[in-house]
Structures are given as structure tokens and as C-alpha cells.
Amino acid sequence: MISPSHYTTPTEFLQFAVELTDASRSLIRSRFRARGDVEMKPDATPVTPTDLEVESLIRGMIAKRYPRHGLIGEEHPAQGAAESHVWVIDPIDGTRSFIAGRPVFGTLIALTVDGVPVMGVVDIPIMGERWLGAKGHATTLNGMEARTRSCPALSDAILLATSPEYLDGDAAAPFQRVAESAKFTIYDAGTQGYGLVASGHADIMIAARYGIVDYLAAVPVVEGAGGVMCDWSGAPLTVSSGDRFVMLGNPARLPETLDLLASGGMEGERHGAIA
């Protein structure tokens, strides 16, 4: 088992993450706004041929380079999920935005070791933004160091959130308490929200009804930039985590944020990824 506090991600993995997202970015750009077919999955989320192509491309590259590593993806069955090294992939996080021609969707790729995310890449292919984070390394945005910002009080915080439809039920009231304490809220922040917190443009991001493919890549990104990311109870995020997370640029704001979320009920069961 790794010791997360002492682990340093090998540079070869960071270099390979760039190769993966260079390849996926090229394919996505060639398909963007092409008005292809759209199907609805059993969980009522959309999928396009591009989602499937991109994940197949990434999985193929990983299998060729690291044949003993496991793979967990949004669109294809898991392979070798019990291996010590497992890649967690969402080829197009924000498929609805991709379909609608909005350029803020992204590709998420995480590498986990013994269930712990040790490296993550958040790539926004159309906008040309790529955040890369890894344990033992500073997070970068397009090769330049990214840092979160100081948020002196929760009342100063810019809060990013998913669409309101994913913050309903027993998640609604806890989220609303945080929203009422923040300066203002931006909904439908999407994949880019992870990078905006990591680069100090926003302060908090909260989500519910997310699968691990939707958020594990963001953990090393925000932590390597000086922030913190955990579930609503404050527990670290792993391949076994539930469907809720909170991300903060300033870890000092975590205790009060968790207090506001505390009466939201038990940690949710893991759901399918949000498209």
C-alpha cells in the first residue's frame, strides 16, 4: 500500500498523461460541432460515438504502454480494477456541452495507486487548457505552475456548482447553506471548474450524484495547487468513494464548509457519471 503523504508520482506517468491528452484532444477537436449521432444510456445521460472513440483511444494507449495496469472508464467495462495501478477515465466529461457546441467540456484521466488518486489531468480540448497534477509535484496549467488563492472568509468565496438538478433531494438543503454563506454561486461550472479553483479564479466547488470517473482526476490537480478535495464527511476520495465531493482552494475554509454540509444525510451511493 502506498503512503499518500510520502508518495511522489514518477515523471514517466506525467509525460504519458500529456501524450494521452494530446491524442484525445486531437480526436475531439476533429469531431467538435460535427452534429453526430446521440444516444441515451439507461441512466438517461447522452453518449456520442466520439465518447466511445476517445475512451477506446486512451484505453488502447494505456494497454500498450502499461499492460498490467487496470482501467475504469465511463463508457466501457472495467478491466483489471483490482490491480495496484488503475487508470480512471472520462473521455468527454460534459457530453451535453459537447453535443450543444459549448467548449467547456473536458477529458479527465486519473491514475490511482492502491485506490488513491496520485495523478490527474483535466484537459479542456477546445479552449486549449490542460491542468496536470500529481503527488510530489506542483500542479501546472499548460506547463506553468498553478496556485489556488487565499479566501479569507466563506463570505468572500466564489462557489461553483453542478446543475441544480444534481443537487436535489437530501443534497439540496446542505448545498443551499453553503451557497447562502458564499459571495455568489455559478451553476453548471462543468469540468473547467476544477481548473478554475486550482488556478485561483474560484474558491469552492461542490457536487453530488457524481461517479469516480467524474472527479478523481481533479484530486491531485487541486491538491498540487494548494487546495483540498474530499467527500462531504471530510474523508479522502478514492476509487471506493461515494457520489459527493467538495473542493476548496483554501483548506482553512474546509471545517466550516463541512459543518454546513453536515446534515445532508449519509454519503451517497456511487452513481453513474454525469454526462
pLDDT score for 263: 66
158 and 86 together in one domain: no
The predicted model gives 234-245 an average pLDDT of: 96
* 141 within a domain of the structure (yes/no): yes
What's the domain range around 99? 11-145
* 203 within a domain of the structure (yes/no): yes
72 and 128 together in one domain: yes
* 274 within a domain of the structure (yes/no): no
Q: Which of 66, 69, 103, 64 is nearest to 83 (CA)?
A: 69
The structure's pTM equals 0.92
Q: Which of 145, 171, 194 is the last residue of a domain?
A: 145
15 and 133 together in one domain: yes
30 and 137 together in one domain: yes
Task: Report CA torsion sign: 191, 192, 196, 202.
Answer: negative
160 and 247 together in one domain: yes
178 and 100 together in one domain: no
- Binned at pLDDT 50, 70 and 90, residue 1 comes out as low
105 and 223 together in one domain: no
pLDDT score for 45: 81
185 and 76 together in one domain: no
**Which pLDDT tens digit goes with each residue over 22-51?**
999 999 999 999 887 888 888 778 888 899
* 6 within a domain of the structure (yes/no): no
Q: Which of 113, 145, 177 is the last residue of a domain?
A: 145
* 266 within a domain of the structure (yes/no): no
* 119 within a domain of the structure (yes/no): yes
Q: Which of 95, 110, 145 is the last residue of a domain?
A: 145
Which CATH number belongs to the domain containing residue 60 in this structure? 3.30.540.10
Cell of 91: 473521455
Which CATH number belongs to the domain containing residue 239 in this structure? 3.40.190.80
Min mean pLDDT across 24-38, 125-139, 142-156, 229-243 is at 24-38
Structural domains counted in the chain: 2
134 and 170 together in one domain: no
The predicted model gives 132-137 an average pLDDT of: 97
117 and 210 together in one domain: no
197 and 105 together in one domain: no
92 and 115 together in one domain: yes
* 4 within a domain of the structure (yes/no): no
Residue 10 has pLDDT above 50, yes or no: yes
Min mean pLDDT across 35-49, 50-64, 103-117, 151-165 is at 35-49
Q: Write b or e for each residue in 169-201: b if 16 or more Cβ atoms lie within 10 A of its Cβ, otherwise e.
A: eebeebbebbbebbeebeebbbbbbbbbbbbbe
